[in-house]
């Protein structure tokens, strides 16, 4: 009798274990990683799920947005303000984070680091090191909240790359740089192709170095290179440290240039969503002229609890906790765009994503593949299903502009935009995983073998 009770107990345990394992779901194998942003799809419920949300796990009660500049020039390359003047200009405009990215063409990898070499009165509160080299520093004396300095440059031996937190730059591949320079001066088709990488390897060498030395990077002004999305995909597939590229630039003052680059951004997002990596969009000034009014036309808002804590800003950048900002209507007054995002909520009673915004705006657009799929701060499952969208990003414009999702330049206005949210519905979930993850019982080979063995045992001993 005791043996009967034992065997029955074992069978019940095995049965419950099988159900629990199946109901809990199984990890998806063979997926491209998107890092820590990827929400679990193990609890897939048969509806549209957000599978990549750059703004997940944010405590909106304690988070702060830090005004940041990542593409800036001084007299150490081709800018017209000295390093000290450029720092003061950003201080006057309320910047919290600044990376000076002078060109590396003087055979110096980082021509403007450290800042104290150019302003001997500056004193760092702390200096952060990676690979035994200084990579960032904090100056509480700069501005109301202090300013975080990030080591950076614009690597210019190939397509221009903004490089941060490492010492990539001018290296021994001078021949490839000379060839690249001559090639751009020859009457050859400007469209760059994959074989171009084998002939002009400086770009690969740069990105590989950044990868191997724990740096991060973005592509600057990509539209001038006339590259297809396939060309960039080849690089983004290979180098994890390449986080994205400059979707806007305002260095001519009143126009946020390169509107067509947003179309390229959407092409890349369409390629990678919903199960691939993220491609982050950046708004920069690429400032060369002098004057505080020149540095305020575009910037990133990086979300972190405290930019004066080492590592927080970098972590937020890597997770895509950023908004890009066009600040063209108020750039001359040193003011900041009047629209701010207070909170992003998901899976609310009324919407899949709901954005709480402070400030007056005329247009709130959700964009997929270059088209507006919904308007207003709420995005529903119906909006996504109607557009068959695998991602969406939003743009909030202070004026009702035709530039939204049209690939046009933004003229003289203010706008704020998000990074992309990736979605997965039941159909493409099954396509990607080869199964339906609804609760049920999976009879695995091991489970089945144990059940058969127990049955044979019971028959032999006449249970």
Q: What is the 3-state secondary structure (H, E, C) of 45-72?
A: CCCCEEEECCCCCCCCCCCEEEEEECCE
Distance CA 240, CA 231 (A): 16
The region, left, alpha or beta by phi > 0 then psi within -120 to 50, assigned to residue 284 is: beta
Distance CA 355, CA 400 (A): 19
* Residue in 302, 341, 299 with CA at minimum distance from that of residue 320: 302
Residue 458 lies in a domain: no
Residue with tokens 């906790």: 321
Distance CA 241, CA 383 (A): 33
Q: CATH number for the domain including 293?
A: 3.20.20.140
Residue 286 lies in a domain: yes
**Beta carbons of 397 and 433 less than 8 angstroms apart:** no
Q: Which domain holds residue 101?
A: 64-342
Work out the average pLDDT over 238-266.
76
| Cross-strand pairs, 281 | 245
**Beta carbons of 105 and 77 less than 8 angstroms apart:** yes
Residue 33 lies in a domain: no
Residue 454 lies in a domain: no
pLDDT band for position 225 (cuts 50, 70, 90): confident
Residue 230 lies in a domain: yes
Residue 30 lies in a domain: no
- Out of 42-46, 67-71, 239-243, 271-275, least confident range: 42-46
Residue 4 lies in a domain: no
Work out the average pLDDT over 8-34.
43
Give the number of domains in the chain.
1
Distance CA 1, CA 147 (A): 77
List, in sequence order, the alpha helices (H) in 51-173.
83-92
Query: For the segment 136-189, what is each residue's pLDDT rounded down to a tens digit?
Result: 999 999 999 999 999 999 988 778 899 999 988 865 345 555 655 555 455 444
pLDDT band for position 414 (cuts 50, 70, 90): confident
What count of other Cβ atoms lies within 10 Å of the Cβ of residue 200?
A: 21
pLDDT at 38: 44
**Beta carbons of 398 and 360 less than 8 angstroms apart:** yes
pLDDT at 252: 47
pLDDT at 52: 95
Residue 73 lies in a domain: yes
pLDDT at 312: 96
Give, in degrees to the nearest 5, the angle at Cα 58 between 295 and 325: 20
Q: Please provide the average confidence, as pLDDT, over all residues in the chain.
A: 79
Q: What six digits make up the tokens of 413?
A: 């206005």
Number of H helices, E strands in the chain: 11, 23
Residue with tokens 């994890």: 240
pLDDT at 375: 95
pLDDT at 18: 47
pLDDT at 99: 98
Query: For the segment 72-115, what is each residue's pLDDT rounded down to a tens digit?
Result: 999 999 999 999 999 999 999 999 999 999 998 766 777 899 99
């Amino acid at each position: 009798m005791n043996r009967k009770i034992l065997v029955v107990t074992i069978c019940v345990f095995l049965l419950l274990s099988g159900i629990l394992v199946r109901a809990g779901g199984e990890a998806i194998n063979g997926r491209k990683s998107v890092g820590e942003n990827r929400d679990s799809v193990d609890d897939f419920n048969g509806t549209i799920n957000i599978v990549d949300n750059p703004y997940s796990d944010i405590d909106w009660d304690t988070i702060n947005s830090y005004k940041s500049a990542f593409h800036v020039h001084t007299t150490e390359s081709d800018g017209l303000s000295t390093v000290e003047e450029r720092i003061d200009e950003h201080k006057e405009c309320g910047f919290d984070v600044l990376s000076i990215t002078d060109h590396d063409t003087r055979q110096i990898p980082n021509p403007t680091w450290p800042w104290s070499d150019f302003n001997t009165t500056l004193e760092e509160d702390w200096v952060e090191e990676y690979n035994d080299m200084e990579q960032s520093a904090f100056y509480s004396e700069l501005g109301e909240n202090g300013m975080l300095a990030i080591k950076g440059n614009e690597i210019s031996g190939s397509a221009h790359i903004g490089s941060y937190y490492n010492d990539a730059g001018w290296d021994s591949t001078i021949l490839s740089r000379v060839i690249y320079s001559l090639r751009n001066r020859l009457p050859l088709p400007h469209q760059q192709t994959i074989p171009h990488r084998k002939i002009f390897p400086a770009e690969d060498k740069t990105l590989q170095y950044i990868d191997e030395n724990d740096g991060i990077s973005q592509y600057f002004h990509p539209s001038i290179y006339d590259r297809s999305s396939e060309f960039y995909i080849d690089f983004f597939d290979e180098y994890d440290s390449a986080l994205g590229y400059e979707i806007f630039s305002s260095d001519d003052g009143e126009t946020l240039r390169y509107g067509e680059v947003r179309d390229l951004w959407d092409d890349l997002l369409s390629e990678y969503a919903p199960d691939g990596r993220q491609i982050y969009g950046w708004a920069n000034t690429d400032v060369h002229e002098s004057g505080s009014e020149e540095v305020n036309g575009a910037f990133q808002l990086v979300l972190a609890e405290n930019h004066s804590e080492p590592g927080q800003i970098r972590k937020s950048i890597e997770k895509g906790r950023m908004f890009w900002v066009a600040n063209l209507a108020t750039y001359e007054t040193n003011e900041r765009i009047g629209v701010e995002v207070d909170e992003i909520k998901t899976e609310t009673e009324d919407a899949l994503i709901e954005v709480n915004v402070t400030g007056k705006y005329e247009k709130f657009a959700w964009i997929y593949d270059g088209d507006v799929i919904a308007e207003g701060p709420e995005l529903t499952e119906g909006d996504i299903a109607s557009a068959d969208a695998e991602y969406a990003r939003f743009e909030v414009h202070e004026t009702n502009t035709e530039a939204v999702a049209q690939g046009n330049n933004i003229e003289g206005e203010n706008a704020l935009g998000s990074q992309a949210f990736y979605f997965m519905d039941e159909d493409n979930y099954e396509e990607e995983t080869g199964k339906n993850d609804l609760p049920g019982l999976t009879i695995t080979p091991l489970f089945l073998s144990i059940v058969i063995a127990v049955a044979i045992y019971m028959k032999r001993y006449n249970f």
